[in-house]
Structure 1
Amino acid sequence: MSLKKNIIANYVSQLYVTAVGILILPFYIKHLGAEAYGLVGFFVLLQAWFNLLDLGLTPTISRETARFKAGVMSALSFRQIYRALSLIFLFIAVVGGISLFLLAEILANNWLQFDSLSLFSVVIAIKIMAAIVALRWLCGLYRGVITGSESLIWLSYFNIAVATFRTVGVFPIMFKFGFTISVFFIYQLFIALLESLILFYKSRILLPKLSKFSEPIGWSVKPLMPVLKFSMTIAFTASIWVLVTQTDKLILSSILPLAEYGYFTLAVLVAGGIMIISGPISNALLPRMTSLFAQEKHLEMLAIYRNATQFVAVIAGSCAITMFFCAENLLYAWTGDLHLSHFVAPILRLYVIGNGFLVIAAFPYYLQYAKGNLKYHLYGNLILVGILVPLIVLAAKYYGAIGAGYTWMTINFLFLIFWVAFIHYKIEPGLHLKWLFNDVFILIFPAACIGYFFNSLNFSYSTRLDSFLILLIVGIPVLLTSLLCSPLIRKYINKKYLTKVVV
């Protein structure tokens, strides 16, 4: 199977799933109401925290599947590892699902804040969430087998289909049976059950047949011992990431009324688009930089590192600046709801800038990965969690979503300025100032000035089309300014066009 086709299919499905999830949100809020959508946001939060229980198991089964397909391990050894992981996945799904089911009334009574929804409907919704979360958890095992087998094109088509049914397909059902939170979650449970059955069937096809083995597979978890170190390393970094990105949402889910929490969830989801921009770049950057470092092509590795920084700074930076200055225009053009736009815009501005700092601050990880030494990455994440989590708790408790937003933005800015400088000093002395000013600052600062100038013109808007046009009027000059300030882009233009003119 072509690697290029797999990568393209993976990106297309990722972008589609993200886009359809974002575009459908205004319809959820319109038909379900802000408070009910807040409950949907709480459901997303539960899934994210449930991932803490992964313990590196999903990447492990994916890696072992790939090793089996490459002929590195026997079919019997692979099936033994698969069965051991199946037992662990099933145990966690049952215990986690039942625990959440039993906690439904406590969460509804003592954690969530709601007015228009009935206590009964909220309790029922949380109990259904428990079943959905458990089913989707099991899907991780099956997806790992499919990914390790490099059946990514099939998986991409499947993800697109599931995302469509999950987000868009619910509306005909609610038109028929009513726009209630119970109908919404019952439908989601049905889709989760169907998804898990199809993935289970597909993964079974890819597994070596049991009839091939002359000796029993057994029911022991001992086959996992050799891969335990890999699993724990992945588990630790994944757990840190969940703590960093989800603590504010967890705290605010108990402080804010569900309606306001729904608005907050919407703002964070839109701001998360900045993070998605850097995903394809990192996936392509890591293997290339690792390869160049292994070949002792140090200067080429640094050149790719700096060029990729400029690319992300241009794209993610321009998006963050435009969304900061045009937050209300973006939200109104998207939702058509003035009240929502006014309420959400201040939160969106803070999170989008914080995410902009974060995608740039992530670059030293790529350098550490290429050199095979992640100790500073682990130290940095521990420090980040140690500072961010208590501050988020205090800020959210006393100042709500705005306080959490200011904390998120400030901590990520300080992390970029100080910790990234320390990492560069340790692993690549002499790089940091050139990287910070030539590859980041001179691309971002002029674009921010242009954004400020156009925003100061105070364009008025009365329709969603007006808001969209204002978004373009600000966004296009911001992007062009950032492009022209990039040494990489200027060099490309000079080589591609100006040299031909001179000749």
Structure 2
Amino acid sequence: MKNSNIAKLISNYGSRLWALVSVFIFVPFYIKILGIENYAIIGFYTLLLGIISFADSGMSSAIIKEFSQDNSPSYKYSIFRNIENLYLLICVVIMSIIALGSGLIAEKWLNSNTIEIQTLSYYISLIGIGATLQLLSSLYYGALFGLGEQVKSNFYQIIWNVFRAGIVILVLIFYKPTLEVYFIWQIICNLIYIIILRIQSLSILKSQDSNLHKYFKKIPKNILKYVGGMTFIAIISAINIQADKIITSSIFPLKTFGYYNLASILSQVPVILGTPLTMFAFPLFSKFSLSNQKDLNITFDKITYLLSIIIFPVSFLLIFFPVEILKLWAGKSIESNMFSTLASVIRLLISGSLFLALQLPLFYLLLSKEKTKYTIYQGVIQVLLGIPLLYFCAKYYGLKAVPFPWILINFGSLVFLLFIVFKNFIDIKFSHYFIRTLIIPLFISFGVSFLFYLLHKINGGNIILYLVCTGILSVLINILFNNIINKRSFKEFKHLYNFPK
């Protein structure tokens, strides 16, 4: 069962769930030890990583795509080494640009009331090193992933995250509670993580062919074309996904940005939970795209349904219980007058993130077919319309208005991608997808969440119990109802993960 579909799915979700849980566990400690403004600088680390992610330019996804297909070990090794050399060069350039521009970023971008410009500039230089190394790790993670070692790659990712996000708290407590220590620890963890992933990837390749010493020093044209298309997509995507944080970090004080970052973390839950499922599907999409339309249809149908019964319940939990979840998570670190504002922001951000999560299977299906032009069209429109609207909302209507462009952009993108994919690339009736994958899970999840919301309002009680019961019942009722309408046994569930091979 080491690399079976169910093992890969479990490991994918284990890695993502741990990353999610670790945020909920550790962020309150960061705020308690360092303060909300210093935590905002940690949030800026995440923001900068998101911005420079365009530098990946699809190279890690190209590795996954090429490695998941039936190519020879020598071909894979050549692709790996050529892309690695290009990636290293790009990372060195980015690291240098951030270091040289750190003073300008500290002075013109961030608004700090307590941290001196020179100190802030130093932190930004450290952030540049740590974030660039973390970006580079995605290449080696993608290599292991594409080689079919999803279980192993996710195991390493979990261990890395434990040290990077968890053990650092002990370092801050027992050594020195400063941002300098925090960022240096990130650099050390990221560097060790890269070395381990690279050694493991090369070891697997060489076990398939012991004569891997030389490689052709040229990237094939089809991969260059793919990476070229992905470069533009990555730039547009980085701007669109991080635009709200870029604008809030530049318009509002760091303290307000820190609070917005808390709301943003919660709103990312649907995407975080949807990503491992679609990443699992991407190699299957790549495998079936050019040769087996029937298996591609089956895989797409299963993935989209699984995605819906996972993200709808979680989204409605956050929509109905934002204040309760905030208090449970970081209540002592949040000023009482901020709960109402943050609750409104979370509800709106979650709606936009739900639309974004539903796009994931569509996006990866188009990638598997090397059809990047549609995502480029989508991204350009998002930038031209969304960024000015986002700035206008933030500047003139405050923090509560920031999420509105996020909702409009992602809803429009979902409609556009659904139209393209169902018209050109998938042989499934749209009515089947719309009713089975969207409408039924939506209404079941909404109904269960609303019922438990009313029960909580009337009776009070342990909020954790309400959250757990709501999530589990929503998923189980969705599966049960689907079995009934498809005339399966109530206990049947293997069809959910029994993907074509």
Q: Shared fold (TM-score greater than 0.5)?
A: yes
The equivalent position to 2:490 in structure 1, one of 493, 496, 501, is 496
1:131-170 alignment, distance < 5 Å: 131-170=129-168
Distance 1:202 1:348, change over 3 A: same
Cα distance in structure 2, aligned partners of 1:446 and 1:263:
32
SS of the equivalent of 1:116 reads coil
The equivalent position to 2:37 in structure 1, one of 23, 27, 35, is 35
SS of the equivalent of 2:111 reads coil
In structure 2, what is the equivalent of residue 501 of structure 1?
none
1:109-124 alignment, distance < 5 Å: 109-124=107-122
Cα distance in structure 1, aligned partners of 2:201 and 2:293:
40
**1:144-175 C-alpha deviation (Å, 9 max, x unpaired):** 54445445444333222211111111122111
Q: CA RMSD in A?
A: 4.0
The equivalent position to 1:248 in structure 2, one of 241, 244, 249, is 244
Cα distance in structure 2, aligned partners of 1:439 and 1:6:
23
In structure 2, what is the equivalent of residue 49 of structure 1?
51
Whichever residue aligns with residue 18 of structure 1, its letter is L
SS of the equivalent of 2:489 reads helix
**1:32-66 C-alpha deviation (Å, 9 max, x unpaired):** 11111110011111112112122333344555667
| Structure 1 residue 387, shift from structure 2 partner | 2.7
SS of the equivalent of 2:402 reads helix
Whichever residue aligns with residue 237 of structure 1, its letter is I
Query: Based on CA coordinates, which of the two structures has the bigger radius of gyration?
Result: 1
Contact 1:89 1:137 in 2 (8 A): no
Cα distance in structure 1, aligned partners of 2:428 and 2:67:
42
In structure 1, what is the equivalent of residue 315 of structure 2?
320
Cα distance in structure 2, aligned partners of 1:394 and 1:240:
20
Cα distance in structure 1, aligned partners of 2:84 and 2:450:
54
**1:406-434 C-alpha deviation (Å, 9 max, x unpaired):** 22123323444566356545667993345
Cα distance in structure 2, aligned partners of 1:115 and 1:326:
33
Contact 2:456 2:466 in 1 (8 A): no
| Structure 1 residue 326, shift from structure 2 partner | 0.6
SS of the equivalent of 1:169 reads helix
Cα distance in structure 1, aligned partners of 2:3 and 2:141:
18
Deviates more, 1:243-252 or 1:99-108: 243-252
Cα distance in structure 2, aligned partners of 1:202 and 1:497:
40
Whichever residue aligns with residue 242 of structure 2, its letter is Q
Whichever residue aligns with residue 186 of structure 2, its letter is Q
- 2:326 matches 1:331: yes
Cα distance in structure 2, aligned partners of 1:243 and 1:252:
14
Contact 1:329 1:471 in 2 (8 A): no
State the aligned residue count: 486
Whichever residue aligns with residue 325 of structure 2, its letter is L
Contact 1:240 1:382 in 2 (8 A): yes
| Structure 1 residue 396, shift from structure 2 partner | 2.9
Runs of 4+ displaced beyond 6 Å: 211-214, 289-297, 369-372
1:194-233 alignment, distance < 5 Å: 194-202=192-200, 205=203, 222-223=218-219, 227-233=223-229
Distance 1:39 1:148, change over 3 A: same
SS of the equivalent of 1:24 reads helix
- 2:399 matches 1:398: no
SS of the equivalent of 2:192 reads helix
- TM-score, normalization: structure 2? 0.81
Cα distance in structure 2, aligned partners of 1:363 and 1:27:
35
Cα distance in structure 2, aligned partners of 1:139 and 1:297:
33
**1:338-358 C-alpha deviation (Å, 9 max, x unpaired):** 636444322211111111122
Contact 1:347 1:405 in 2 (8 A): yes
| Structure 1 residue 457, shift from structure 2 partner | 6.4
% identical equivalent positions: 25
Deviates more, 1:155-164 or 1:27-36: 155-164
Distance 1:185 1:369, change over 3 A: closer
| Structure 1 residue 323, shift from structure 2 partner | 0.9
**1:113-134 C-alpha deviation (Å, 9 max, x unpaired):** 1113333432221121122233
Distance 1:124 1:454, change over 3 A: same
Deviates more, 1:250-259 or 1:423-432: 423-432
- 2:271 matches 1:269: no
Cα distance in structure 2, aligned partners of 1:428 and 1:85:
31
**1:196-255 C-alpha deviation (Å, 9 max, x unpaired):** 44445545655669x9689x879xx64565631232233333333323311222222211
Distance 1:290 1:84, change over 3 A: closer
| Structure 1 residue 320, shift from structure 2 partner | 0.9
Distance 1:442 1:150, change over 3 A: closer
The higher relative CO (CA closer than 8 Å, separation ≥ 6) is in: 2
Contact 2:270 2:314 in 1 (8 A): yes
Deviates more, 1:344-353 or 1:438-447: 438-447
Whichever residue aligns with residue 350 of structure 2, its letter is V
Structure 1: unaligned runs, 5 residues or longer: 499-503
Whichever residue aligns with residue 311 of structure 2, its letter is A
- 2:72 matches 1:71: yes
- TM-score, normalization: structure 1? 0.81
Structure 2: unaligned runs, 5 residues or longer: 493-501
- 2:3 matches 1:3: yes
The equivalent position to 1:25 in structure 2, one of 24, 27, 48, is 27
| Structure 1 residue 282, shift from structure 2 partner | 2.5
Cα distance in structure 1, aligned partners of 2:455 and 2:32:
32
Contact 1:45 1:246 in 2 (8 A): yes
In structure 2, what is the equivalent of residue 357 of structure 1?
355
| Structure 1 residue 375, shift from structure 2 partner | 4.8
Cα distance in structure 1, aligned partners of 2:131 and 2:307:
34
Whichever residue aligns with residue 312 of structure 2, its letter is G
In structure 2, what is the equivalent of residue 174 of structure 1?
172
Cα distance in structure 2, aligned partners of 1:389 and 1:141:
30
Distance 1:83 1:284, change over 3 A: closer
Deviates more, 1:250-259 or 1:37-46: 250-259
Distance 1:94 1:152, change over 3 A: same
Cα distance in structure 2, aligned partners of 1:285 and 1:202:
23
Contact 1:10 1:152 in 2 (8 A): yes
Whichever residue aligns with residue 332 of structure 1, its letter is K
| Structure 1 residue 285, shift from structure 2 partner | 4.5
Distance 1:454 1:200, change over 3 A: closer
**1:284-305 C-alpha deviation (Å, 9 max, x unpaired):** 555666777767765x865664
Whichever residue aligns with residue 485 of structure 2, its letter is K
Contact 2:268 2:350 in 1 (8 A): yes
Contact 2:137 2:194 in 1 (8 A): yes
Distance 1:467 1:460, change over 3 A: farther
